[in-house]
Amino acid sequence: MSPDEARWTADDTNPDAIEAMLRELLLRAHIEDGEIAPARVLNMIVLVRSGHLGAMLERLAGVGRYAASRLLLIELDRDAEHLAADVRVTAPERVGGDGTALVRETVKLTVGECHMPDLRSIAASLVVTDLPTLLWSPAAERARVQPLLALAQSVLIDSLEGDNAAAAFTSALELADESYVVDLSWLRTTPWRERLAAAFDRRRDALDRITSVTVRHNPASIPAGTLLVGWLASRLGWEQLHLAPTGEGLAGSARSARRAIELALDPDPGLAVPGLSGMTVTTDDGWQLSLDRGAGGLQADERRADGSARRWTVPGASRGEPGVLGEGIRQALLRDPTYVPALSLAAEMIA
Amino acid sequence: MLEQAANPLVEALERQPVDPTALVIFGATGDLARRKLLPAIYNLAHDGALPERFALVGASRRDLSDDQFRGECAEAIRTFSRRPPDPDVLAAVLQDTHYVSGGFNDAALFEALAVRLDALDEEAGEALSRAFYLSTAPSFFPAILQRLGEASLNRRKGAEVRVVIEKPFGTTLKEARELNRRALRYFRETQIFRIDHYLGKETVQNMMALRFANGLFEPLWNRNFIDSVQITAAEDIGIGSRADYYDRSGALRDLIQNHMLQLLCHVAMEPPVRFNAEAVRNEKLKVLRSVHIPDAAMIADGSVAVRGQYTRGHVDGENVRGYLEEEGVPEDSRTETYAALKLSVDNWRWEGVPFYLRTGKRLARKVTEIAVTLKPVPHLAFDRSGSLGIQPNQLVLTVQPNEAVTLRLGAKIPGTRMVIRPVSMEFLYDTSFLSQSPEAYERLIGDVMRGDAMLFTRNDEVEAQWEICDPVLKTWEQSDAPLPSYVAGSQGPLEANGLMAGEDHWRTI
C-alpha cells in the first residue's frame, strides 16, 4: 500500500458516509495486504481557519511517528455551504522495517458557518470511540473551539500564540478547568527543568539557598521563561512573586521561607527559534550554574564559592519545533501534575 | 552516602536525575561494546538521558590512544546506532571519552584506571559515581573483580560504585557460586548488577503490567484455568563467528539458564508487595526455588529434557551448514544447539501445570514468545463437523521480532451454521503507543547509573537458576547416547515432542 493509495473525496457529504468510507478503505487495504493494521492510539482534532490548512499540514508532517492515528482536520470556510471531505488511509511505515504496516487515517473536512451549530456532532461521528482525543486549534477563537471541548480529553495550546503572556496564561487556566492542557511553551522548558533537577540532585540543600534566577529566552517566548520560573516557584514553595518590565526584559522577585530571590527574564535576540536560550541560578554561597544552548547539547558553566570555574557540555539533541509539537501530541497520553501549579504562579507573576 | 531529602524538582519528569558517573567498559573494543553498549550510550546522550556529568572510559588489551578509541567509538555508533548520530551530539560524547589499555589481570591497568578516574573527578570538581561494566570474556570476570578490589576501586567516598557483570554468570552452579563469592568479597550485593538484557525489553516488563494492572487475567492465572505454559526463544541464525564461545556454552547455558528462566519467573511469580527491586526479586526467587529440580533418570530418558544439534538444511531459502561444519566447531562436538525442558513449579498456584521451555539455533524463524494455554471449556454444545476445531484460549506474549500480545479466541464463522474457528485478537505495541521503545541496553545502562536493580538478577536468583540447570548439564555430559539432530530450518528435534504431556503440542515456530 503506497502512502496515497487509499483516498476518497466528496464535495457534499455527511459524517455517516465519511465514517463508512473510512471502514471501507481500511477493509480494502487489509484485503490487499494482510499485514495492514490500524494504529489505535489517539484521535486528534485540528480546527483551522480558511487558508491556514497548508501551514498546519506542514507542521504536522514534521512530527513523524508521533502523528495521531486518526487526524480530523476541520477547515472553517465561512462561505462553504456543503460539507466537503478528503479521506486518506495511509501506511507510511512498517514496524521493524518489513513487518506490520500501521495505518493512519486522515480526514480533512471543510465546514461553513452553516455547519457550526452541528460541529460537535459532526466531529463526534468521526473520532474512534474509546481512544483519547486531543484538540488543537491554533489561533482560532475560543467560541469556535468550545463545542469541541466535550469531545476531547486534552487540549493542545501554545501560550506563545496569545496576544500577550498574561492573556495566554489566563486563557490556559480557564481551559485547564475544563480539560487537560498540553502547552507547547511548557514543553519547551522540559530539557531545562530536567537539567535543573539533575544539577540540584546532589545538592538538594542548596535549593533553599537560591538567591537569583535569570532566564534567557527568544524575545517572543516570555511564556516559556515565565513558566520555568513558575515551575521553580511552585516546586520550592516561593511566594510573593512578581515580574515587571525593565529596559528590555522582565525583572522582579520572589520569597522563599528564608530569603528573597531575584528573578529576571532576559530576551535573547540571538535565538531564532521559540523557547529558551539559557538560564543562570545562583545560591547564597556564591555557587552559580549557567546552562546555555550550544552545539550538541547544553553548555554548563559552573562557578563555585572558592572561585573555581568549570565548563562542560551536557549532551542532547535539539528536538526542534517539530519535535516539540510531536512531544505535545504524545503528552496527550500522559498527565503532568506540575503544569497547572507552574502556570498559576506564572500568571500571578505577570498579572 | 547520607540519605538526602527528596528532590522536589523531579516530580513528573520523564527523565529522572542520574548520578554523575564515570562508566568504565572493560572489553570496550569487543563485539558487545561495539554493537550494543556504545550505541546505547550515544542514544542516551541523544535523548538527554546521560547524567549531568558523564565520562566514558574504555579499558581493553589493545594499545590505543584516546583519539584512536574515540575514532572506533564513532565508527561503531555510526554503524550500529538505532538512529543516525547527530554529529554535534556525537562530538560531545566523544569529548568525554577516554581509554586505558592493559591486560585484565594486570595490576598496572587498574593503577592507570585509578589515576584516570581520579583525574576525571578532579576535572568535574566532585566524586563521580563509578560503574564498571564487565563486557569481557567471562574468564576475566574473577580477575577484574579482584583487581578492582585490590586497587580500592570498589569503594568511593561520597559516590556510588557499581559493577555490571554480563552473562554468562558462570558455566556451572559451582562456578556461579565461586563468582558470586569473588564478587561479594569486594562488592556489596547492592553494588552488583548482573545483566540479563531480556529483562530490559518492554514486553517482559509489560508482563507485570498485564498481570497485575488488569483484573482480567489474574483470576485465571493458576492451575485451575491454565493448562500449560510454553516459552520459546528460537533463532534462525547459526553461531556465526562465535564458535569458540558457543561450543563451550551450548543452548541451555546460553539462553535457558538465564533469559528463559527469568521469563518463567515473570509468568509464575506472585504479585510483589511493592514495585521495587527487592520485592520483585524476592518473588522471582520464590518461583525459582519452587521449580522441581529435574531428576537425572528423567533427564537421561528424555522425559524432562531434550537436546539436539542442527544439521545442514535450508533457512530463509538458503542452504546452510550443519553445526559440525561451522567454522571453529570441533568435528566431534556434542554441544547442543537446541535445548528443551519440561519444568514444574511446585507450589499452590502452579501444581500440575507444565512449563515447557525451548531454545535453539537454526530453527524455522526467529521468535521469542510466551504462550499461556488455558484449559478447554468443560462442555461444548456446538457441532464440531465442518469446523477447524475449537481450540483452547491461548494468550501469547511475543517479545521479538514484534512486541505484541495475542489472545486466541473461538469465533463463529459467518454463515447459517454454528461453526467455530480460532481467531486472534492482537495488540501490537507499535500500534498503540506513540513512544518508541528504547533498546534494552539503553534502559539497563540508565538503571545502573541510577542504581535501580529491579531489572537485574540477584546472587541468589542466579544460583537458583543454576540449581535447575546443573543436573541437566551434568547428565548430558555424562551421557554417551547419540545426540538427537534436527535439520536446519526445521522445528527442532522430533525427540522434543516426547516432552509434551497429554494433548499438549509445541506451537509452530
What separation in angstroms does the CA of A262 have from each of A56, A208, A230, A244, A309? 40, 14, 13, 12, 22
Nearest Cα residue in chain B from A317: B46
For residue B315, give the H/E element and its range.
strand B313-315
What digits encode the pLDDT tens for the residues B360-394? 999 999 999 999 999 988 887 776 666 666 788 99
Q: Over chain B, what is the mean pLDDT?
A: 92
Mean pLDDT of B13-42: 95
What digits encode the pLDDT tens for the residues A303-317? 998 999 999 999 999
Which has the minimum average pLDDT: A216-225, B220-229, B370-379?
A: B370-379
Residue percentage of chain B with pLDDT more than 90: 76
Q: Provide the residue type at B451 as one letter.
A: G
The beta-carbon neighbor of A201 closest among B7, B11, B86 is B7
Helix (H, G, I), strand (E, B) or coil at A35: coil
CB B107 within 8 A of CB B148: no
The catalytic residue among B46, B197, B259, B266 is B259
Residue B109 has pLDDT above 60, yes or no: yes
User: Looking at the DSSP assignment, which residues form a beta bridge with residue A180?
Assistant: A154
Residue A288 has pLDDT above 90, yes or no: yes
B436: chain A residues, CB-CB within 8 Å: 65
Residue percentage of chain A with pLDDT more than 70: 96
Mean pLDDT of A259-266: 96
Q: Tell if the CB–CB gap between B89 and A39 is shorter than 8 Å.
A: no
- Euclidean distance between CA atoms A62 and A23, whole angstroms: 27
Show the cell assigned to A294: 550550544
Bridge pairing between strands A70-76 and A43-49: parallel
Residue B419 has pLDDT above 50, yes or no: yes
Show the cell assigned to A120: 460537535
Which has the minimum average pLDDT: A63-67, B32-36, B445-449?
A: A63-67
Residue B439 has pLDDT above 90, yes or no: no
- pLDDT confidence of residue B1: 45
- pLDDT confidence of residue B385: 67
- pLDDT confidence of residue B241: 80
- Euclidean distance between CA atoms B453 and B447, whole angstroms: 7
What digits encode the pLDDT tens for the residues A31-48? 888 778 788 889 999 999
What separation in angstroms does the CA of A49 have from each of A124, A157, A202, B292? 20, 16, 50, 69
Bridge pairing between strands B367-374 and B305-311: unpaired
ipTM of this model? Answer: 0.92
- Euclidean distance between CA atoms A13 and A82, whole angstroms: 7
Which has the minimum average pLDDT: A155-159, B28-32, B238-242?
A: B238-242
Most B CBs within 10 A among A186, A194, A343, hence the mutation to make, goes to A194
Mean pLDDT of B202-228: 90
CB B1 within 8 A of CB A202: no
pTM: 0.90
Mean pLDDT of B202-216: 86
Residue B3 has pLDDT above 60, yes or no: no
- Euclidean distance between CA atoms B431 and B391, whole angstroms: 27
Residues 6+ apart with CB under 8 A from A180: A153, A154, A155, A332, A335
Q: Tell if the CB–CB gap between A330 and B53 is shorter than 8 Å.
A: no
Q: Tell if the CB–CB gap between B48 and A193 is shorter than 8 Å.
A: no
A196: chain B residues, CB-CB within 8 Å: 9
What digits encode the pLDDT tens for the residues B316-374? 888 999 999 999 999 999 999 999 999 999 999 999 999 999 999 999 999 999 999 99
- Euclidean distance between CA atoms B327 and A124, whole angstroms: 64
Residue with grid cell 573555581, as numbered in its chain: A308
A95 — pLDDT class (breaks 50, 70, 90): low
A97 — pLDDT class (breaks 50, 70, 90): low
What digits encode the pLDDT tens for the residues A301-351? 999 989 999 999 999 999 899 999 999 999 999 999 999 999 999 999 998
Instruction: Examine residue B168 and say whether the peptide bond preceding it is cis (omega within 30 degrees of 0).
Output: yes
